Amino acid sequence: MGLWDSYRMRVRRKRRLVRALRKSAELSCLQDNTRAIQPSDVLLVCTMRNEQIRLPYFLEYYRKLGINHFLFVDNDSDDDTVAYLQGMDDVSLWQAKASYRRAHYGVDWMNYLKRKYAHGHWVLVVDPDELFIYPFCDTRPIQALTDWLDSSAIRSFSAMLIDTYPKGRLSETPYHAGQNPLEIANWFDSGNYTISKNPMYGNLWIQGGPRARVFFADAPRNAPALNKIPLVKWDRRYAYVSSTHALLPRGLNQVYETDGGEKASGALLHTKFLDTLGIKAQEELARSEHYANSREYKAYAKALEQQPELWCKWSEKYINWRQLEILGLMSKGNWA
């Protein structure tokens, strides 16, 4: 990478930060508990819309993992999201009524909040349908991981998105609030992921899984990106550039080993494929607020009419992180 490239990236990063600041005008604070944040706290930042049904389990899961404070952006929900979160001591809540798409799918809002509140903290950025797992997550809290990353001088941690889905039709088993979504959507694809390197930001570009297999078999290039770097020791100079797929400065995207070894990595179990997806797809289609003109939701809406089955004979049933590590989807690296 030449000097010119570095300069370009620097300008791009600064523009992102300025943009985040400008877009922060769209945020109105509904509940500010940020004064309770302690210096060593691990934070979680999340943007959502009409996800009230998922929140009870989401909060339970991440509190148990050791998240100390939640920073939520509610994008104009018309369900009970806001009322539900109000009064929780470890939750700070903002509302944005403006366009999700024009805020770079929420990235601008969240970049702003992280710049303001997460400087010097480990921060996890996930969607409400994503469950973060990492090596030893069943026996060690997230602070064990972040302490280890700190002592290894690692600033960012990769967790690939793994789509989970139920056996049978989506509408067959309704999801109810507070339930572990993995009780329903507990199957995944283990070995059909393609990887290439994105020369612009130096991150890996991973595609595949059931979404590529079922919805994008005719246009694999358009299949959603599954690479994510959701856990970062934040610095106010950092910025996510597209969802949590890539960051600037580019060094943060070097979460993979190129010299033959394995770095430690985790996974985000993506429990999108529940009975709730049908309504969601219709709604998002009407709003057209998602990436590439909601290309993904168009594909779902079309395929969902035919009630597709994502499950196949070669689907793996999810057991635990060790299974994912053996399958080669994540790695302990040198953490033991």
Partner 1 sequence: MSAASVGIVMLVHTALERAEQVARHWTAADCPVVLHVDKNVDEAVFQRFRQSLASDPLVRFCTRHRCEWGTWGIVAASQSAATLLLQDFAEVRHVYLSSGSCLPLRPAEELAAYLEARPQTDFIESATTADVPWIVGGLDVERFTLRFPFSWKRHRYLFDRYVDLQRRLGMRRRIPAGLVPHMGSQWWCLTRQTLTAILQDRERARYDRYFQKVWIPDESYFQTLARKHSSRIESRSLTLSKFDFQGKPHVFYDDHLQLLRRSDCFVARKIWPRADRLYQAFLTDGARALTRTEPNPGKIDRIFAKAVERRTRSRPGLYMQSRFPSRWSVKSVTSNRYSVFQGFSELFEDFETWLAQITGARVHGHLFAPKRAELAQGSTMINGALTDCAKLRDYNSQSFLTNLIWNTRGEHQCFQFGPGDRQEIRAVLASDPNAQISVISGAWAVPLFRSDRDFGDVRREAARLQQIEASYLHTLRHRETKARVRIWSMAEFVEAPMEPLQSILDELGHLHPLSTPPALVNLDGFGQFLQNLKNQGMHPHLMGDFPVEQGGLDRAKPPRKPYLVRR
Binding residues vs partner 1 (CB under 8 A) = 136, 139-141, 143-144, 147-148, 151-152, 158-160, 189-197, 204, 206, 208, 210, 212-213, 217-221, 227, 255-265, 312-315, 328-336
- Residue 193 or residue 291: which is nearer to partner 1 going by CB? 193
Q: Tell me the closest approach of the beta carbon of residue 38 to partner 1, in angstroms.
A: 14
What the block records as the tokens of 91 is 């939750």
- Residue 38 or residue 258: which is nearer to partner 1 going by CB? 258
Q: Tell me the closest approach of the beta carbon of residue 206 to partner 1, in angstroms.
A: 6
Burial of 25 (0-12, 13-18, 19+ CB in 10 A): exposed
d(Cα 128, Cα 268) in Å, to the nearest integer?
Answer: 11
Q: Tell me the closest approach of the beta carbon of residue 263 to partner 1, in angstroms.
A: 4
Q: Tell me the closest approach of the beta carbon of residue 192 to partner 1, in angstroms.
A: 5
User: Measuring CA to CA, which residue among 201, 248, 195 is closest to residue 226?
Assistant: 195
SS3 label, residue 224: coil
Torsion angle defined by CA atoms of residues 191, 61, 100 and 241, in that order, rounded to the nearest 10 degrees: -60
- Residue 69 or residue 228: which is nearer to partner 1 going by CB? 228
Q: Tell me the closest approach of the beta carbon of residue 238 to partner 1, in angstroms.
A: 20
- Residue 12 or residue 167: which is nearer to partner 1 going by CB? 167
d(Cα 62, Cα 98) in Å, to the nearest integer?
Answer: 28
d(Cα 159, Cα 157) in Å, to the nearest integer?
Answer: 7
- Residue 140 or residue 298: which is nearer to partner 1 going by CB? 140
Largest Cα separation within the chain, whole Å, is: 56
User: Measuring CA to CA, which residue among 273, 77, 269 is closest to residue 175?
Assistant: 273
- Residue 167 or residue 213: which is nearer to partner 1 going by CB? 213
Q: Tell me the closest approach of the beta carbon of residue 246 to partner 1, in angstroms.
A: 13
